[in-house]
Structure 1
Amino acid sequence: MEQRTASRVELIIAGLGGMGVLVAGHLLASAGLSSHKHVSWMPTYGEARRGGLSECTVILSQDEIASPILDVAGAILMLDSSQIKAFEQRVRPGGMMIVETAGLKENLDREDIEVIPVSGMEMAMEFGSLQTANLIMLGTYMELAKPLSLQLIEKEIQRRYSGEVLERNTKAFRAGLELGRALAAT
């Protein structure tokens, strides 16, 4: 069954350096090159590469992209919940924020967005590597938002990785897809 592709996708991915924020964004942007005429991937990170705030914006569009900078987006993927309040206002009304539950202490004040808690780190431990949490979270986003064909992301994962890492990353991404399906059904 052919999956429909959104004409414009805007996503902010945020977390801490070393969590795979930039990798997840680059995977989506690279996969989007096959389905969209214009693609933007803009990483932003502090001086401390590991442990410092890290963010990237991904824009996939059939029309020209005026700027890679997104003040607000339809979706935000939070790989670290400690910054949830800082990013709350960057979700468009009616948008979604997928949030890692590990360390989640605050509730959001907004009622005009959908907040989706995901235990990405806990699930990643089942694969023996916390480094797969970003792919679990990306898979959940892909299933819920359906920005482009899931096969395009899987092809990009296959292009980048091999051996045990490919197997583990593919399983993690698919686990995120399954979680997204379960969340969509509730």
Structure 2
Amino acid sequence: MANAILKNDVIMAGIGGMGVLMAGKLLAWAALEKHKYVSWLPSYGVEKRGGVCECTVIFSNSEISSPLLDQAKTLIVFAGSQLGTFESRVNGNGIMLIDSADIKEEAKRSDYKLIKIPAVKTAHEKGDSKISNLIMLGAYIGATQVLSHELVQETVKKNLGKDDVTKNRNKEAIQLGIKLGSAAMQ
């Protein structure tokens, strides 16, 4: 088993301004600590905010042939209203994590695990809507266990926030997400 190829691929999608690309960068930076090969590929329109955006993150112990993904093992959708738009992008037997706010339609497929995360609601309850992306990132880590909780928290601490208040808020957001993601897999 020591020579087994370990590869994780993720598509993160949402609306510009939601922190989708930052969450993807944070995941890639954390993965760099444990994996030799990591790619992060953003995709977005000309709008700064409000347009559809996504990124792919792939991390592996073997070379990555292409950073492009039509489908991924895990799909993280930051805007509930985009369930139908992105549902085709998750592999059969994969996982889709989606913010439970504003889901307007039912899933059309049943061959993957759908996990609804109240990221926006939780962020508002904590008084800071800007942390919903960290809650979603934490939920991914909690649901999949692909990287250690501590590694992701340390990566967020190192790369986001200059003051202790912000760093503590970010740490709490990741922890909340990890709990939500872990609980969803029970």
TM over 0.5: yes
Between 1:51-60 and 1:158-167, the stretch displaced more is 158-167
> For structure 2, which runs of at least 5 residues remain unmatched after alignment?
none
Where in structure 2 are the equivalents of 1:11-160 lying within 5 Å?
Answer: 11-160=10-159
The 8 Å contact of residues 71 and 90 in structure 2, kept in 1 or not, is answered as yes
1:27 deviates by 0.3
1:127 deviates by 2.1
What per-residue deviation string (whole Å, max 9, x for no partner) do you get for residues 109-162 of structure 1? 111011111110000012211110011111111011111122111111111123
- Please give the root-mean-square deviation of Cα atoms over the aligned residues, in Å: 1.1
- 3-state SS of 2:124 partner: helix
- 3-state SS of 1:74 partner: strand
Task: Output the amino acid matched with 2:121.
Answer: E
1:67 deviates by 0.7
What per-residue deviation string (whole Å, max 9, x for no partner) do you get for residues 58-95 of structure 1? 00011111111000000100001222112111111100
What per-residue deviation string (whole Å, max 9, x for no partner) do you get for residues 24-80 of structure 1? 000000011110010000000110011111100000011111111000000100001
Q: Does 1:175 align with 2:176?
A: yes
Percent identity between matched residues is 41
> For structure 1, which runs of at least 5 residues remain unmatched after alignment?
1-5
The 8 Å contact of residues 11 and 77 in structure 1, kept in 2 or not, is answered as yes
Task: Output the amino acid matched with 1:162.
Answer: K
- 3-state SS of 2:110 partner: coil
Q: Does 1:8 align with 2:21?
A: no
The 8 Å contact of residues 7 and 36 in structure 1, kept in 2 or not, is answered as no
1:179 deviates by 1.2
Matched with 2:162 is: 162
Structure 2: distance between partners of 1:181 and 1:42:
27
